[in-house]
Structure 1
Amino acid sequence: MMKYLTWMSIAVSAITNSQMVLAQDKPNLLPLAPLSCLLEPSFDVELSSEVQGVIKNIDVQRGDRVKKGQTVMVLESKLEAAAVNTVKARLEFATRKVERNTDLFKKNLISDIEQDEMMTEVRLAAFQLKEARVRLGLRETKSPIEGVVIQRYKDPGEFVDETPFLRIATLNPMHAEIVLPAELYGTIKKGDTFNVTALGSDQIHQGTVKVIDPIIDAASNTFAIALVLDNEDGVLSAGLRCEVRASSLAKN
């Protein structure tokens, strides 16, 4: 019985040591050939207008850089501007009316109801002015990101609705998508850094893991990760193929 227990202990120890060795060797399970990846913009958006209308002007062209919050398109807004001026005049008149009757109210020459009606007119005019200004603001479209204009679909004078009129992409930072074998799942963590080389270039760029797919593709037995690469110098272009070699996949 004692010999049996000793043999079992040796077997369990051998299996445990074997599992530890396999776990340590997981990064080496990659093929020696370089893994391919694809460079993509970190953000890629198509802008459309919140309201319908005729384009008054678009101040950007293809290839232009835009800042976040920059106005990129303005619709014709004569009616909306006129509505703002009308309601603003109404508010100013209602305010003057209250001011003129303040002394009369203090002397009880006008009733509480009359005073309340005048104050209500002021509040309603203020709300209407706010609404009119919002409607006027909707005639302008601002960029939600900082980036480069990739495509312009509309020109001044054309009608615009919910369909896109402009496409903007953020090229700094850049993203690189890599497909890895399932054996490596769990060995790569967010924040790990890998070396990436764009095809046709010998320059090595460092990428940091930002996204790890939570699901392994059963058909291919692989999973994908996304790297973030600094592209302040603008040498990387979206759509380029890139390579990550097995030797560079060891965690730094």
Structure 2
Amino acid sequence: MSPSRALLLPCTLLLGAALSAAPLEGVIQPFRQVEVSAPVSSRVEQAKVQEGEAVKAGQPLALLYAKLEELEAERTKALLERREFEAKGAKRLYDSKVIPESKAVECRLDLELARLQYEAAAEQVRLRTVLAPMDGVVVQRYREVGEAVSSGQPLFRLVDLSRVVVQCAADPAAVAPLAVGAKVRVRLPQLGEQAEADGEVTLVDPCADARGKVRVKVVVPNPGGRIRTGLPAQILLP
């Protein structure tokens, strides 16, 4: 081998090593998580789900005490039916010119007021059923049956694990090749030493933090919930 080729070979190897970008170290987070709070002050009458249970959007999570509200709804419903009967009778009498128009209008207004009162009472009953705002898994239940809750007080914490987010903080120069929407590979040590998955860049923060780092987020599909959150992962740069 000529002296020139012997010098060129180590330089080529060094150049190749320099071009291999180091992966970004990150942490896996839930794609979405919410705390479901009590819409009104009341008492937990019945818990419908347990921690670790998968739920669908709109599924009841808990029932709050609602006896007084149910009685009020029944009262206003009966009043509404009475006003409907009176309004129909007043219309017939007005059409027959037995009563003046003012009396018919008064009965119609009483009917509308009764309908509003019933809708308000029915809404108070509906608020006593706590519903899941999204598909997810119940990871925490803050209150047990019989405990009092205040309006706005958390009752459950739900996480959406159909996808996960790998978030890291990196030097701006290191993430220069990345753009929102770019496809990257993510290494997942929890699934095996060489386990990888496809991900999509959803955030390259344009603003650096006090350490001079920028946030990067990559969303990875998680069918079957195999990928667990809170564990490390690596974003492989192109």
Q: Secondary structure at the match of 2:223?
A: coil
1:77 counterpart residue number = 66
Per-residue CA deviation, residues 43-87 of structure 1 (Å, 9 max, x unaligned), is 111111110101111111011001112111110101111111111
Please say if 1:249 is aligned against 2:230: no
Within the alignment, does 1:183 sit opposite 2:173 as a pair? yes
Distance change (3 Å), C-alpha of 1:218 and 1:166: closer
Equivalent residue number for residue 221 of structure 2? 230
AA paired with 2:199? G
Question: What is the alpha-carbon distance in structure 2 between the residues aligned to residue 216 and residue 198 of structure 1?
Answer: 26
- Alignment equivalent of 1:240, drawn from 219, 231, 234: 231
Distance in 1, matches of 2:153 and 2:109, equals 41
TM-score by length of 1: 0.81
Query: How many residues end up aligned between the 2 structures?
Result: 219
Query: Are 1:167 and 2:157 counterparts?
Result: yes
Give the 5 Å matches for 1:120-159.
120-159=109-148
Give the deviation of 1:29 after TM superposition.
Answer: 7.9
CA–CA distance in 2 between the matches of 1:66 and 1:179? 33
**Whole-Å Cα distance in 2 between the matches of residues 171 and 103 of structure 1?**
61
In the alignment, which residue of structure 2 is the partner of 1:16?
A: none
Question: Contact (CA 8 Å) 1:30, 1:181: kept in 2 or not?
Answer: no
User: Structure 2 matches for 1:42-121, cutoff 5 A?
Assistant: 42-121=31-110
**Which residue of structure 2 aligns with residue 215 of structure 1?**
207
Q: For residues 154-195 of structure 1, what are the alpha-carbon distances to aligned partners after superposition, in whole Å with 9 as ceiling and x for unaligned?
A: 111111112211111111111100222211454311111121
CA contact (8 A) 1:46 1:165 kept: yes
Q: Deviations over 1:129-154 (max 9, x none)?
A: 11111111111111112111111111
Aligned-residue CA RMSD in angstroms? Answer: 1.9
Report percent identity of matched pairs.
26
> Structure 1 residues 160 and 218 mapped into 2: Cα distance closer, same or farther (>3 Å)?
closer
Q: Which residue of 2 aligns with 1:10?
A: none
Secondary structure of 2:140 counterpart: strand
Question: Post-superposition shift, 1:227?
Answer: 0.6
Listed as ranges, the gaps of 5+ residues in structure 2 are 1-15
Equivalent residue number for residue 199 of structure 1? 189
Q: Could you list the runs of 5+ residues in structure 1 that have no partner in the other structure?
A: 1-24
**Alignment check: 8 A CA contact 2:32 2:159 kept:** yes
* Secondary structure in structure 2 of the residue aligned to 1:103: helix
User: Aligned equivalents of 2:134 and 2:32: distance in 1?
Assistant: 8
TM-score by length of structure 2 reads: 0.86
> What is the CA-CA distance between 1:28 and the residue it aligns to?
3.9
**What is the deviation of 1:218?**
5.0
Larger displacement relative to structure 2 (35-44 or 181-190): 181-190
Q: Secondary structure at the match of 1:171?
A: strand
Q: List structure 1 segments (4+ residues) > 6 angstroms apart after TM superposition.
A: none
Asked whether the 8 Å contact 1:198–1:243 carries over to 2, the reply is yes
Shift in CA distance, 103/216, structure 1 to aligned 2, threshold 3 Å = closer
